[in-house]
Amino acid sequence: AAGVIQSPRHLIKEKRETATLKCYPIPRHDTVYWYQQGPGQDPQFLISFYEKMQSDKGSIPDRFSAQQFSDYHSELNMSSLELGDSALYFCASSPGSNYGYTFGSGTRLTVV
Amino acid sequence: AQKVTQAQTEISVVEKEDVTLDCVYETRDTTYYLFWYKQPPSGELVFLIRRNSFDEQNEISGRYSWNFQKSTSSFNFTITASQVVDSAVYFCALRNSGSARQLTFGSGTQLTVLP
């Protein structure tokens, strides 16, 4: 079965650079979520999209932005990277409000 | 506001022992969903179970079982006859039924199963 695809798997950036993370949800899933998991932390919700519209916003810094495209893939754009942005970034998709989530394998971002 | 508490930060057991991971949640909603995820050292989040607030039946899946007690707001997870491959961080998570459909995670329990 198709899963949630995230790319890249690993990314190393320098401080003040920008990064773009991509997420391809499971086909026919209408909602995409982004989570950030710092070292030794639990995943924290950043932002979600329902049918290509932003549906909810969590603790996402102003330096980050995200969008969902017509083909339902989503991108998380991160600018002016800081050391504290080093984390595992997960994308998840869901087919509806009463269903579980499927998480991608995550993108490990390291800011040096 | 909603909150998930996993009081056990780390647990170590010897292979073949049974182990229970505790999860206590807080929510004002009457309809909500509870989840357990496993995060092995490779980092991915593996879905284990979803339970809605109206279904208090306990569930068993192989060596895994879950005990949902609405009266105590707990959703505990037991692994029977643990194996080394069960070593991972286990997260309990809560989602309300409203428009905000994101998950609130507990802080996780690191389970180490020793050979």
Rounded Cα distance, A53 and A71, in Å: 13
Extract the residue ranges of chain B whose pLDDT is less than 50. Answer: none
Tell me how far CA of residue A53 lies from CA of A25, A68, A69, B13, B101, in angstroms.
Answer: 15, 7, 9, 46, 14
CA distance A37 to chain B (A): 10
Q: What is the mean pLDDT of each run of 10 residues along chain A (112 residues)?
A: 91 98 93 94 93 89 95 96 97 79 94 98
Mutate to test the interface with B, among A11, A37, A42 (most CBs of B within 10 A): A42
**B3 in contact with chain A, both atoms CB, cutoff 8 A:** no
pLDDT (tens digit, 9 = 90+) per residue, B79-111?
999 999 999 999 999 987 666 678 899 999 999
Closest Cβ opposite residue B102 in set A58, A102, A106: A58
Nearest Cα neighbor of B35 from B4, B12, B10, B57 is: B4
**How much is the pLDDT for A56?**
87
Rounded Cα distance, A75 and A78, in Å: 10
| Interface residues of chain A, partner chain B, Cβ below 8 Å | 31, 33, 35, 41-45, 48, 55-56, 58, 88, 90, 92, 94, 97-106, 108
CB A66 within 8 A of CB A49: yes
